[in-house]
Structure 1
Amino acid sequence: MVKKMQLPLQTLNLIVGFMVWVLLSSLMPFITEDIQIPTERLAMVTAIPVVLGSILRIPLGYYANFLGARIIFLASFVLLLFPVYFISEASSFSHLVIGGLFLGIGGAVFSVGVTSLPKYYPKERHGFVNGIYGIGNLGTAVTTFSAPIVATQVGWSLTVKLYLILLLVFIVLNFLFGDRHEAKVRTPIVEQIRGVIKNEKLWLISLFYFITFGSFVAFTIYLPNFLVSNFELEKVDAGMRTAGFIAVATFFRPVGGWLADKFQPLFLLIGTFAIYTFAAIILAFMPSMGLYTAGCLAIAVSAGVGNGVIFKLVPLYFNKQAGIANGFVSMMGGLGGFFPPIMLSAIHSLTGQYSIGFMLLSQVALASLVLVVWLYFQDRLALTSEVFNSTGQGILVTDPKGIIKAVNPAFTKLTGFEEQEVLGKQPSVLKSGKQPKDFYRGMWQALKEQGMWQGEIWNKRKNGEEYLQWLNIAAVKDESGEDVRYVGTFTDITGHNKT
Structure 2
Amino acid sequence: MKLSDLKQSGHAPSLFSAFLHFDISFMVWVILGALMPFIMTDPSLTGQNLRITPTAQVQTGEQYTMLIKGPQTVKQNPKLKADQPKNVYNLLIKPGDPSIATKASVKPVEKFVLDNANPATIAAANAQSKLIHIDLAPGAHGNPNENVIALKPAAALAKAGKTFQPIANGYPASTKLLLVGIPLLAAGFWRILLGVLADRFGSKRVGVASMFFTLLPLIVGFQMATSYNSLVFVAFFLGLAGASFAVALPLASRWYPPHLQGLAMGIAGAGNSGTVLATLFAPMLAKAYGWHEVFGLLMIPVGIVLVTFAVLAKDPPSQVRPARAADYAAVLAKPDAWYFCMLYFVTFGGFVGMSSFFNTFFVDQYDAPKATVGLWTAPFIMAGSLVRPIGGALADRLGGVRMLTVLYATVILMAIGVGLAINTFPVAEVLLFVMMAALGMGNGSVFQLVPQRFKKEIGVMTGLVGAAGGVGGYYLNFALGHLHDITGTYASGFYAFAAIAVVAFVVLRSVAPGWTKSWLGAGGVAHGAPAAASAPAQERVLAGAEVA
For normalisation by structure 1, the TM-score amounts to: 0.72
Contact residue 188 and residue 467 of structure 2 kept, 8 A: yes
CA drift at 1:251: 0.6
CA drift at 1:253: 1.4
CA drift at 1:187: 4.2
- Consecutive unaligned residues of structure 2, counting only runs of 5 or more, are 1-8, 47-169, 522-548
C-alpha offsets along residues 396-432 of structure 1, whole Å, 9 cap, x if unaligned?
Answer: xxxxxxxxxxxxxxxxxxxxxxxxxxxxxxxxxxxxx
Counterpart in the other structure of 1:35 = 45
CA drift at 1:217: 1.7
Question: Which of these residues, 177, 194, 216, is aligned with residue 82 of structure 1?
Answer: 216
CA drift at 1:333: 0.4
What amino acid does structure 2 have at the position aligned with 1:381? Answer: K
Counterpart in the other structure of 1:347 = 483
What amino acid does structure 2 have at the position aligned with 1:193? Answer: Y
Trace 1:367-406 onto structure 2 (pairs within 5 A): 367-383=503-519
C-alpha offsets along residues 204-234 of structure 1, whole Å, 9 cap, x if unaligned?
Answer: 1111111111111221222112211211121
In 2, the alpha carbon distance for the partners of 1:156 and 1:384 equals 50
C-alpha offsets along residues 255-284 of structure 1, whole Å, 9 cap, x if unaligned?
Answer: 223333444222222221121111111012
In 2, the alpha carbon distance for the partners of 1:15 and 1:148 equals 18
Question: Which of these residues, 433, 455, 459, is aligned with residue 323 of structure 1?
Answer: 459
CA drift at 1:38: 3.0
Counterpart in the other structure of 1:206 = 341
In 2, the alpha carbon distance for the partners of 1:131 and 1:310 equals 16
In 2, the alpha carbon distance for the partners of 1:147 and 1:73 equals 24
Q: Secondary structure at the match of 1:304?
A: helix
CA drift at 1:171: 1.2
The size of the alignment, in residue pairs, is 385
Higher Cα Rg, which structure = 1
CA drift at 1:297: 0.6
Counterpart in the other structure of 2:72 = none
Counterpart in the other structure of 1:256 = 391
Question: Which of these residues, 287, 297, 301, is aligned with residue 166 of structure 1?
Answer: 301
- Consecutive unaligned residues of structure 1, counting only runs of 5 or more, are 386-499
CA drift at 1:141: 1.2
Change (3 A) 1:317 1:4: farther
Contact residue 450 and residue 458 of structure 2 kept, 8 A: yes
Change (3 A) 1:382 1:125: farther
Trace 1:356-371 onto structure 2 (pairs within 5 A): 356-371=492-507
RMSD over aligned CA atoms reads: 2.4
In 2, the alpha carbon distance for the partners of 1:276 and 1:213 equals 12
CA drift at 1:336: 0.6
Trace 1:68-467 onto structure 2 (pairs within 5 A): 68-89=202-223, 90-120=225-255, 130=265, 132-285=267-420, 286-383=422-519
Aligned residues with identical type, % of pairs: 29
C-alpha offsets along residues 4-58 of structure 1, whole Å, 9 cap, x if unaligned?
Answer: 4444432332111111111222112223324115324212222222222121111
Change (3 A) 1:278 1:182: farther
What amino acid does structure 1 have at the position aligned with 2:208? Answer: L
1:53 counterpart = 2:187: yes
CA drift at 1:93: 1.6
In 1, the alpha carbon distance for the partners of 2:409 and 2:266 equals 21
Contact residue 127 and residue 309 of structure 1 kept, 8 A: no
Contact residue 272 and residue 302 of structure 1 kept, 8 A: yes
CA drift at 1:145: 0.5
Change (3 A) 1:136 1:379: same
1:44 counterpart = 2:178: yes
Change (3 A) 1:105 1:293: same
C-alpha offsets along residues 463-492 of structure 1, whole Å, 9 cap, x if unaligned?
Answer: xxxxxxxxxxxxxxxxxxxxxxxxxxxxxx
CA drift at 1:128: 6.3
CA drift at 1:361: 1.6
Contact residue 60 and residue 327 of structure 1 kept, 8 A: no
In 2, the alpha carbon distance for the partners of 1:200 and 1:151 equals 46
Q: Secondary structure at the match of 2:254?
A: helix
